[in-house]
Amino acid sequence: MDPVRLSADLALLAFLIAWLCRVGFRSRSQAVAERWLYAAGALLMLVHIVLAYGIFHRWSHAAALQHTAEQTEAVVGLSFAGGLYFNFVFVLVYLVDVVWRFRLREPDARQPRWLAITVDGFLLFIVAMSTIVFETGPVRHVACVGLLAIAVGQWRRQRSRRPAY
């Protein structure tokens, strides 16, 4: 397996496992594991971008834009290179969220609720689009199962916090 593909796949696994820990953690050690896995996923995404630029695009931004436009046209029928910028924003938001999480002392402490929902929603949306829409085979299946498990875990977690009536 090529290092570009491997870095993306490992980043996806770390992201999904971290999220599964997040929606299901009950102990301090699980919360710590979630933070480190989440950070590993962000760093692996950064490695993925560097490797893709170096290996596939020979450090040419124009080549990366062209490749993105071709991939998007093949999948959705529209030549759009802007997805590359969504990837950059994804990694930036992901890295900032990792730093924020490491600065906090309590596992459930986060940014203001509206910001946490926005960040989480954006990250999960980009992961879903990049893996379910643009991938095939095992990566798509792992992403579907992982994202569904995260959704169920989040639903159960929210449901358990509701006051009893």
* pTM given for the model: 0.90
First to last CA, the chain: 54
Nearest to 95 by CA among 42, 17, 55, 44: 42
Q: What is the pLDDT tens value at each position of the chain, 165 positions in all?
A: 799 999 999 999 999 999 999 898 777 888 889 999 999 999 999 999 999 999 999 999 999 999 999 999 999 999 999 999 999 999 999 999 999 888 876 655 667 888 889 999 999 999 999 999 999 999 999 999 999 999 999 998 888 875 544
- pLDDT per residue as tens digits for the range 112-127: 888 889 999 999 999 9
Q: Where are the domains of the chain?
A: 3-161
